[in-house]
Amino acid sequence: AQTVTQSQPEMSVQEAETVTLSCTYDTSENNYYLFWYKQPPSRQMILVIRQEAYKQQNATENRFSVNFQKAAKSFSLKISDSQLGDTAMYFCAFFTGNQFYFGTGTSLTVIP
């Protein structure tokens, strides 16, 4: 069975600082994709960053980067220079075959 675990229900960070959100997953598959989605309050979910499991290089998107440790089945998200607009729920997701699996989310608050 595929599972995604986010062990940090809530986190906060000072504006302009860096924060790391954790995600671990469990699968017996070798080929899969990992995602971080952002869901701002009362707004729709959008993709933040994507990582293909066959790529060793960690994905980056502007202020967002991941630390992908395939052997450890870990996929953390680092947000640099945090901005007020980063306040949101963040969901780690895992895709293999034809189905997505989501974690329970981390609520991030950026403090002015």
Partner 1 sequence: EAEVAQSPRYKITEKSQAVAFWCDPISGHATLYWYRQILGQGPELLVQFQDESVVDDSQLPKDRFSAERLKGVDSTLKIQPAELGDSAMYLCASSLLALSSYEQYFGPGTRLTVT
- Tell me which residues touch partner 1 (CB under 8 A): 4, 33, 35, 37, 43-47, 50, 91, 93, 95, 98-100, 102-105
Looking at the Cβ atoms of 80 and 107, the one nearer to partner 1 is 107
CB of 14 to partner 1, least distance (A): 24
Residue count of the chain:
112
CB of 39 to partner 1, least distance (A): 8
From residue 108, alpha-carbon distances to 12, 24, 46, 82 in Å are: 5, 18, 15, 10
Looking at the Cβ atoms of 6 and 82, the one nearer to partner 1 is 6
CB of 81 to partner 1, least distance (A): 25
Q: Which residue has the tokens 């945090």?
A: 82
Looking at the Cβ atoms of 56 and 99, the one nearer to partner 1 is 99
In angstroms, the CA 94 to CA 3 distance is: 8
